[in-house]
């Protein structure tokens, strides 16, 4: 599904990625670990077409992300859901409205919204907090709203950049259980994390980045940095 072919990314004062080659198959759950500055966020930005490689190519299925017509980028991005450390919810909208807003933007009908939003909130265990504003939710609950929003348009790929970085260990493990459920339904997941416990409990593939290089690619990974 995702193929990095000898990708290098050079910023004016840093080489963020160097000769990075790997493939993520459809249905995989891959974690990316590495020290701060190792290149994790840069790698995700390449997939989201937020930034371009200095050399090399990135493919989403057969689409060469950085060579494709710019008009095709929104369609590509709609195939990807994303979740971030800082949740990025709209503060003046309820949990329900935050998710519905994304569906409206994707051109979905009122009927679909009325059917799908409660279902997504149930999936993340927030069926009873539909009408709460973000300020009325805990960090873990906010992240669960963000996850429901990220998957509401049924993306093929879910990208999560340090999704548990602001959460306590219990909330973090609840979030990971939700990711597992989403992956079991068939969504490919790429997750970055610093959390050794999460990696060890997942027991799934781990790519370790070190100063822009892939230092390890372990099938049933442990956290080794």
Provide the binding-site residues for ligand ADP, judged by CB under 6 A.
11, 14, 16, 34, 36-42
Ramachandran area for residue 83 (φ above 0: left; ψ -120 to 50: alpha; else beta): beta
Cβ nearer to ligand ADP, comparing 40 with 144: 40
Kind and range of the H or E element at 19?
A: strand 14-24
Burial class (CB in 10 A: 0-12, 13-18, 19+), 188: buried
| 58, 2 contact by CB (below 8 A) | yes
Q: How far is the CB of 81 from ligand ADP (least distance, A)?
A: 19
Q: How far is the CB of 162 from ligand ADP (least distance, A)?
A: 8
Q: How far is the CB of 139 from ligand ADP (least distance, A)?
A: 21
Cβ nearer to ligand ADP, comparing 119 with 196: 196
Tell me the C-alpha distance between 162 and 86, whole Å: 9
Cβ nearer to ligand ADP, comparing 11 with 131: 11
Q: How far is the CB of 192 from ligand ADP (least distance, A)?
A: 7
Tell me the C-alpha distance between 206 and 190, whole Å: 10
């Amino acid at each position: 599904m995702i193929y990095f072919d000898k990708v290098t990314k050079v910023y004016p004062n840093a080489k963020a990625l160097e000769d990075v080659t790997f493939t993520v198959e459809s249905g995989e759950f891959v974690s990316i670990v590495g020290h701060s500055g190792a290149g994790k966020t840069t790698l995700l930005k390449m997939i989201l077409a937020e930034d371009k490689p200095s050399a090399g190519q990135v493919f989403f299925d057969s689409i060469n992300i950085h060579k494709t017509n710019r008009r095709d980028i929104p369609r590509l991005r709609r195939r990807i859901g994303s979740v971030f450390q800082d949740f990025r919810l709209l503060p003046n909208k309820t949990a329900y409205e935050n998710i519905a807003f994304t569906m409206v933007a994707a051109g979905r009908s009122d009927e679909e919204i009325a059917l799908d939003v409660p279902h997504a909130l149930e999936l993340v265990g927030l069926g009873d907090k539909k009408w709460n504003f973000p300020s009325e939710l805990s960090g873990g609950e906010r992240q669960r709203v963000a996850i429901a929003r990220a998957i509401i348009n049924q993306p093929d790929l879910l990208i999560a950049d340090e999704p548990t970085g602001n959460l306590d260990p219990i909330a973090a493990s609840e979030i990971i259980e939700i990711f597992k459920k989403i992956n079991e339904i068939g969504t490919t997941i790429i997750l970055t994390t610093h959390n050794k416990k999460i990696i060890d409990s997942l027991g799934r593939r781990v790519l370790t980045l070190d100063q822009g290089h892939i230092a390890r690619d372990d099938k049933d990974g442990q956290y080794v940095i």
